[in-house]
Structure 1
Amino acid sequence: MTLKELREQVMLVANALDQDATFSKGDAIAIDMPMTVSAVVIYLAIILAGYVVVSIADSFAVNEIATRVRVSKAKGIFTQVDFS
């Protein structure tokens, strides 16, 4: 991925977050994903859009994820489904 491609993808996600009336600047948004390019794009976009990132290890059990979302008062969460 080139720097230009990274910037374009980050801007795409940041703009989508800005268009969503669910979030206000400074809100916490969680990421529960393996460390992939997509996760990095999402992380940077959350910061760029003016929100707070809550990083959650993808290896955590459901109750641990729920605890972190509750404690951080995250208004949303990015995750992925593994159908394997």
Structure 2
Amino acid sequence: MKSFEFLSKKREEKPRECGITMVLDKGLGLETAESLMNISGEYVDYLKFGWGTSIVHEQDIIKAKVQMYKDHDITPYTGGTLF
């Protein structure tokens, strides 16, 4: 049981149609991003690679992060600066 779970409304399971949550990855390292998803990934539905970070970081790191997010049933995408 989570701390203070009794205070929260029950969320829909993934894939959700209500209560969808988007998170911004501002250039997190792979280990930091994975730690964050291990703690909070169940609440995240979409994750945007922010501010062009996906073109300035090493390709193998971006690929590993994309796979890790998908393993947590999160849809990663680019946007903003790149468009």
| RCO higher in structure (CA 8 A, sep ≥6) | 1
Instruction: Name which one, 1 or 2, has greater alpha-carbon Rg.
Output: 2
Does the pair score TM above 0.5?
A: no
| TM-score for both structures, normalised by structure 1 | 0.38
